[in-house]
Chains A and B, each alone.
Chain A
Amino acid sequence: MTRLVNLRPNRGAALALGALPFLILLAAYVIGSNARLAANPDDKLLPSGAALIDSVRSYAFEEDSRSGNVLLWVDTAASLARLSVALVISAVLGISAGLWLGAVPYVRAFAAPFVTALAMIPPLAILPILFIVLGLGEVAKITLIVIGVAPCLIRDLALRAGELPSEQLIKAQTLGASSWLLAVRVILPQLWPRLIDALRLSLGSAWLFLIAAEAIASTEGLGYRIFLVRRYLAMDVILPYVAWITLLAFGTDWLLRMARARWFPWAEVQAA
């Protein structure tokens, strides 16, 4: 008999299997929601499908009666702007600091212990400091994400730069490379795909810090909205927002993956 580890699903079966957990979750929700609503039609915990669709319509396609904005898009734009600015800053910090930390022993001796210590500070613990020092505006929120994400990126990329085979670095020197050329022509190009991998892995924590910052001090944003409607137990708003955030994060991850495959094909063939 063929061993279990050697049995492989075909394309259709793989798709169906992948969809199964989602369908089970959906079915569980529908059953639970129906049961609770049958017992108490005013139950707010598990709103019915119709109620969910209704609130999606009012948040995503209708103008808010008070502000005249379509709330979901205003919130999405605000959150994505904060997130992308913070991730770009983190990526620039990560690749530049990681490159020199990984490549130059003196820089490593000077900065590596400090970066390690910095990465150990729980970012949420210094959130009050950020709000006190930087005010309640955008700067404090973006700084929180950068503080949460950049040290991990720096450490990861420094490690990756240090992992390059010494044969390669020696060879480049016998081809006449200076320290600078070694960095820009040999190490840096090999760090780009790794930066994308590191960014993908830190997307989760980036969203965490974004929502935490928005929950505390904000006037728009996906995290702000969730924590605002929490006061009214508005699960019919919270659930679609959570699903939307998940979708956005998933899409970002997919985009990064595609970008890696397109811009750094050598990294793909190397892995294969």
Chain B
Amino acid sequence: MSTVTVKGLWKHYDNHVVLENLNLTVRDREFVTIVGASGCGKTTFLRMLLGVEQPTRGQLLIDGKPVPPEPGPDRGVVFQRYSLFPHLTVQENLLLGLELSGARLLGRLFGAARRQALEKANHLLAAIGLHSARNKYPSQLSGGMQQRLSLAQSVICEPKILLLDEPFGALDPGLTADMHELILDLWRTHRMTIFMITHDLKESFHLGTRLLVFDKRRHDPQFPEAFGATVTYDIPLNRQHPVQASPPRENPAPVAIPQVAEDAAVGAPV
């Protein structure tokens, strides 16, 4: 279970109000897409969920408990860039989450534990179509491959909540259809609540079960920083809840995703 509750949430830096009076309840396994003009506090909201920033006033609760003041394994994240570790190969990047949580002293697994982790990683690698590239370094991958890996890297740790900050923002438009399929599959299989910031309205309608629009209700032309943004539209999207969409699985099997060659996908209609 992971219900996110936001009560009277404010965030300001000195006199600069970023978010004002945010009230929201997000049920378990919702796919919340967030849109809004740049600088309207979408990322600030995400960073507060992440634990990197603290609310100025009000409450931000996950399952009734305040969000801890630092990032943790219950909340996964994918940024637009720089989420991968350049010194690790694709496979090692995927393995890292299992190693960090499984070996608190050395951060490395050995023997049977390592074999088990490798098996899990390889399943997921095959699912995201990167098995053949498993010994490459992230800088040798295309942008789309990097984001697929970054998604898988978060998902392998089975977070309750997955936070996505414009994960496909830097990608070729032709690639996003592929990515959408992947994220929806991962969401159904791994049963997470997802918050995703996007600047692509079409994407937000296509992916989400609920769309939030962040905007300012009031505007002071003399002092634009006086008022913050809040949720101005909260639109439930007519999509099946994942519980109905796919039967619960005991062991989430790797989803079969057609391995589309990157080049072939470029230029395909979005």
Contacts and interface: CB of A to CB of B under 8 A. Distances in A.
Specify whether A and B are partners. Answer: yes
B139 interface: yes
Residue among B70, B71, B104, B106 with the highest chain A CB neighbour number at 10 A: B71
Given A176-B73, A185-B96, A185-B108, 14 more contacts: A165-B82, A168-B82, A172-B85, A174-B71, A174-B77, A174-B154, A174-B159, A175-B100, A175-B101, A175-B154, A176-B100, A266-B88, A269-B140, A270-B139
Nearest to B157: A175
B12 interface: no
Q: By DSSP majority rule, is chain B's interface helix, strand, loop, or mixed?
A: loop
Interface in B145-176: 150, 153-154, 157, 159
Contacts of B140: 269
Q: Indicate the member of A165, A174, A178, A190 with the most B CB atoms within 10 Å.
A: A174
Contact of B50 (A172, A174, A264, A267): A174
Interface residues of A, number: 25
Main secondary structure of the interface of A (DSSP, over half): helix
A171 B146 CA distance: 14
B72 interface: yes
Given A181-B100, A184-B107, A270-B139, A168 B75 contact: no
Contacts of A184: 106-107
A177 interface: yes
B131 interface: no
Interface of B: 50, 52, 70-73, 75-77, 79, 81-89, 96-97, 99-101, 104, 106-108, 137, 139-140, 150, 153-154, 157, 159
A186 interface: yes
Contacts of B71: 170, 173-174
30 contacts: A165-B81, A165-B82, A167-B79, A170-B50, A170-B71, A171-B154, A172-B85, A172-B96, A174-B50, A174-B72, A174-B77, A174-B157, A175-B73, A175-B97, A175-B154, A175-B157, A176-B97, A176-B101, A176-B157, A177-B107, A181-B100, A181-B104, A184-B107, A185-B100, A186-B85, A189-B87, A190-B86, A265-B137, A266-B86, A266-B89
Contacts of B73: 174-176
Contacts of B154: 171, 174-175
A29 to B, nearest CB: 46
B241 to A, nearest CB: 25
